[in-house]
C-alpha cells in the first residue's frame, strides 16, 4: 500500500533545447524515490515553433518526427525520446499521463475564404455587424507529414471561429457560418458563451472532426502506452463531446484510462455541475484550493487558517479531485498568474501531501525551479517522504486557532511506524496538546522537517504539546532508531 503522487513534469519557461524528455528520463529514479506514482507530461505534439509549449497545437500527429514549423524535434525532444521516457517510467512502476489539447489548433498552413460574422468578445451571442467574407488561417495540410498516420486535412468547416481576418488585417472573434454551425451550447457561460478561447476553435459537433479526434486519441495513447489523460481547457469544450472522448478512450484503449480536466474557475458549484455532467468519470484540478493558498500567502496573519478548505473541491467532492499548489499557468508571467507566496509554499504542500483526501500534484517549477532558478527540492523532500512513509490511517482535525491548525494521521498497521501530527502557523509560534492514544505512551517523536529541534516523549495518553514555529509547518512523527 502506497500513497499516490502526481508530478507535473514541466513549467512554462523550460529551455527550448529539445532535451526535456531526456532530462525527465534521467530524473525518473529520483522521482520514484520521493514517491511519484504518475507523471503528467506537457503536450508532446508540434506547436507553432520549437519554442511552443505545445498548447498552441499545430499537428497532433507530429510528436517530433517530421520537418514542420522549421524543426523536427519539439520543444521537448523527439518521438523516440518520448517513448524512451515512457518505457523508463513503466519499468519503474510509474504511470504516464498525456496532455490533450482538443479545443483549438494554431499555425495553419494556408488561408481560405469563407463567410463569418464578427461577435462581441464580451458577449459572444451578440453579432457586431453583418456576415461577410473573410480570409482565415484554417487550412491544415501538413506538407511535412503528408498522409502518414492520418490523411485528414482540416479546413474552415471543422472550426467554429477564428480571431483574425487576413484580408482586412483586423482582429476580433469571427464566428464561421455554414450548415449546422455555431458555438457549442454546453460550455462555460462566461462572456455569453465561452466556447471560443483562442486560435482556430475546433468544431466538435462536426461528425468528421469527432471521428478524427477519437481515432487520433486511440493512436496516440496506444502508440506511446499512455496510462491517462490531462484534458486542457475543458470549460471551452462541449461537455457531451468531452464525456464521449473519455468513454471512447476507455473503450478503444483501456478501461482504466485515468482522466483529469483543467476547469479554471474557483466556483466550486460550477465544478460540481461539470463533474455531474461528466457522470463523475473524471477528476478536476482544485483551482479553488489553489486560490485559497494564494490568498493565505498574501494575507499572512490576517488570514483565518481554519477556513483554508472552505469552498474547495477537495471538501465538496474528495473523490474527484487533484489538489495542487501551483502550475504552468499560475507561475509568474503567465496569463493566469496567481503564484502562491514563497513562505506559504511548504504549508500549502503539507496541506495537499499529508491529508487523506485528494490526489496531490507536485509542480516541476516548485521542485526543480523556474527558468533555471532555484527549486525547493530540499525543503519539499521532507514533506514528500512524510507522504510516502507516514501519512496513513484515519485523519483528525484540530483547527484550534485562527492562526494555527493541526491534523493527525493515526497511522496504519500495514505501514510500520506510520502516523503523524502536522501543525501549521501563519502567525506566531504556536501549538496544542494532542493525545494519540495509550498504545503510543513513552514513544519519542521528532519533527521530520527539522524546523523544530526538540524531541517529545509522549505521556501515558500518548500525548504531548505539538509545537510549530511562526509562519511555518512541523510534521511530528515517531522517531525510529
Ligand atoms: Ca471551444
Domain boundaries, the chain: 6-102+207-389, 105-202, 395-478
CATH number of 6-102+207-389: 3.20.20.80
**For residue 184, how far is its CA from the centre of ligand 1 (angstroms)?**
7
CA 427 to ligand 1 center in whole angstroms: 44
Topology adopted by domain 105-202: Elongation Factor Tu (Ef-tu); domain 3 (2.40.30)
What pLDDT is attached to residue 180? 87
> pLDDT value at position 24?
98
CA pair distance 478, 481, nearest whole angstrom? 10
Query: Count of CB atoms within 10 A of residue 124's CB?
Result: 19
Of 146, 28, 148, the residue nearest 90 (C-alpha): 28
- Which residue in 158, 196, 194, 162 sits closest to 178, CA to CA? 158
Residue ranges of the chain whose pLDDT lies below 50: none
**CA 151–ligand 1 middle distance (angstroms):** 23
Q: Give 71's strand partners.
A: 68
Q: Which residue has the cell 466538435?
A: 204
d(CA 102, CA 89): 25
Q: What are phi and psi of 133, to 5 degrees?
A: -80, 130
Q: Let me know: does 125 contact 196? Beta carbons within 8 Å.
A: no
Using the mean position of ligand 1's atoms as its centre, give its distance from the Cα of residue 197 in Å.
6
- Mind listing the pLDDT tens digit for each residue in 118-134? 999 999 999 999 999 99
Q: How many C-beta atoms lie closer than 10 Å to residue 175's C-beta?
A: 24
Ligand 1 centre and the CA of 56: distance in Å? Answer: 13
Task: Decide if 33 is catalytic.
Answer: no
Which is catalytic among the residues 201, 232, 286, 357? 232
Distance 187 CA to ligand 1 centre (A): 8
Per the structure block, which three cell numbers stand in for 230? 490531462
Residue 17: the pLDDT is 98
Instruction: Output the CA 399–ligand 1 centroid distance in Å.
Output: 42
Distance 123 CA to ligand 1 centre (A): 15
Comparing CA positions, the residue from 362, 435, 450, 443 lying closest to residue 30 is: 362
Residues 389 and 475: their CA atoms lie apart, in Å, by 12
DSSP letter for each residue of 146-191: TTSS----B-GGGEEEEEEETTTTEEEEEEEPSTT----SSS--GG
Residue 49 DSSP symbol: S
CA 162 to ligand 1 center in whole angstroms: 11
How far away, in angstroms, is 192 Cα from ligand 1 center?
A: 13
| Distance from Cα 178 to the centre of ligand 1, integer Å | 17
Spacing, Cα 236 to ligand 1 middle (Å): 4
**What is the C-alpha to C-alpha distance for residues 475 and 204, in angstroms, rounded to an integer?**
48
Tell how far the Cα of 459 is from the centroid of ligand 1, in angstroms.
60
Q: What is the grid cell recorded at 261?
A: 480536466
**Of the residues 109, 135, 262, 461, which is catalytic?**
262
Q: What tens digit of pLDDT does each residue of 213-235 get?
A: 999 999 999 999 999 999 999 99
Residue 454 annotated to the active site: no
Which CATH number describes the domain made up of 395-478? 2.60.40.1180
What's the 125 CA to ligand 1 centre distance in angstroms? 14
Rg, C-alpha atoms of the chain: 24
Cα–Cα distance, 463 to 33 (Å, whole number): 32
Query: How many residues in total does the chain contain?
Result: 481
Q: How far is it, in rounded angstroms, from Cα 315 to Cα 12?
A: 29
| Residues 388, 411: Cα–Cα separation, whole Å | 12
Spatial distance between the Cα atoms of 349 and 437, rounded to a whole number of angstroms = 27
Single out the residue of 339, 210, 358 nearest to residue 284, CA to CA. Answer: 358
Rounded distance from Cα 196 to ligand 1 centre (Å): 5
- 94/265 Cα distance (integer angstroms): 30
Amino acid at each position: 500500500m502506497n500513497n499516490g503522487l502526481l508530478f507535473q513534469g514541466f513549467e512554462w519557461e523550460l529551455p527550448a533545447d529539445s532535451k526535456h524528455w531526456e532530462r525527465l528520463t534521467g530524473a525518473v529514479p529520483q522521482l520514484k524515490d520521493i514517491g511519484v506514482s504518475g507523471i503528467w507530461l506537457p503536450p508532446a505534439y508540434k506547436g507553432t515553433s520549437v519554442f511552443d509549449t505545445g498548447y498552441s497545437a499545430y499537428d497532433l500527429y507530429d510528436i517530433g518526427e517530421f520537418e514542420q514549423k522549421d524543426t523536427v524535434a519539439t520543444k521537448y525532444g523527439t518521438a523516440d525520446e518520448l517513448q524512451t521516457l515512457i518505457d523508463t517510467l513503466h519499468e519503474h512502476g510509474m504511470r504516464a499521463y498525456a496532455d490533450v489539447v482538443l479545443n483549438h489548433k494554431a499555425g495553419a498552413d494556408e488561408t481560405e475564404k469563407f463567410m463569418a460574422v464578427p461577435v462581441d468578445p464580451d458577449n459572444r451571442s451578440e453579432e457586431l455587424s453583418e456576415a461577410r467574407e473573410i480570409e482565415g488561417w484554417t487550412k491544415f495540410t501538413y506538407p511535412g507529414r503528408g498522409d502518414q498516420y492520418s490523411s485528414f486535412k482540416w479546413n474552415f468547416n471543422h472550426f467554429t471561429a477564428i480571431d483574425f481576418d487576413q484580408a482586412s488585417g483586423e482582429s476580433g472573434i469571427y464566428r464561421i457560418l455554414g450548415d449546422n454551425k455555431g458555438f457549442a451550447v454546453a460550455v462555460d457561460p462566461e462572456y455569453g458563451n465561452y466556447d471560443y478561447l483562442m486560435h482556430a476553435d475546433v468544431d466538435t459537433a462536426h461528425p468528421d472532426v469527432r471521428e478524427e479526434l477519437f481515432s487520433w486519441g486511440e493512436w496516440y495513447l496506444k502508440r506511446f502506452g499512455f496510462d491517462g489523460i490531462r484534458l486542457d481547457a475543458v470549460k471551452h469544450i462541449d461537455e457531451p463531446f468531452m464525456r464521449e472522448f473519455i468513454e471512447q478512450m476507455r473503450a478503444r484503449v483501456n478501461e482504466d484510462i485515468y482522466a483529469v480536466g483543467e476547469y479554471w474557475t474557483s466556483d466550486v458549484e460550477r465544478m460540481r455541475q461539470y463533474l455531474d455532467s461528466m457522470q463523475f468519470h473524471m477528476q478536476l484540478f482544485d483551482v479553488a484550493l489553489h486560490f485559497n493558498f494564494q490568498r493565505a500567502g498574501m494575507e499572512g496573519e490576517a488570514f483565518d487558517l481554519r477556513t483554508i478548505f472552505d469552498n474547495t473541491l477537495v471538501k465538496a467532492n474528495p473523490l474527484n479531485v487533484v489538489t495542487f499548489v501551483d502550475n504552468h499557468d499560475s507561475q509568474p508571467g503567465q496569463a493566469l498568474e496567481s503564484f502562491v507566496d514563497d513562505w506559504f509554499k511548504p504549508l500549502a504542500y503539507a496541506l495537499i501531501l499529508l491529508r487523506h483526501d485528494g490526489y496531490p500534484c507536485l509542480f516541476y517549477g516548485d521542485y526543480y525551479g523556474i527558468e533555471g532558478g532555484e527549486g525547493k527540492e530540499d525543503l519539499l523532500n521532507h514533506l514528500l517522504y512524510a507522504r510516502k512513509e507516514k501519512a496513513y490511517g484515519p485523519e483528525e482535525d484540530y483547527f484550534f486557532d485562527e492562526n494555527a491548525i493541526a491534523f493527525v494521521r493515526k497511522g496504519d498497521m500495514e505501514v510500520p511506524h506510520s502516523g503523524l501530527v502536522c501543525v501549521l502557523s501563519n502567525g506566531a509560534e504556536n501549538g496544542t496538546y494532542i493525545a494519540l492514544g495509550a498504545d503510543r505512551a513513552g514513544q519519542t517523536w521528532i519533527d521530520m522537517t527539522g524546523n523544530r529541534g526538540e524531541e517529545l516523549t509522549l505521556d501515558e495518553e500518548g500525548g504531548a504539546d505539538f509545537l510549530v514555529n511562526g509562519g511555518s509547518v512541523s510534521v511530528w512523527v515517531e522517531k525510529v532508531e
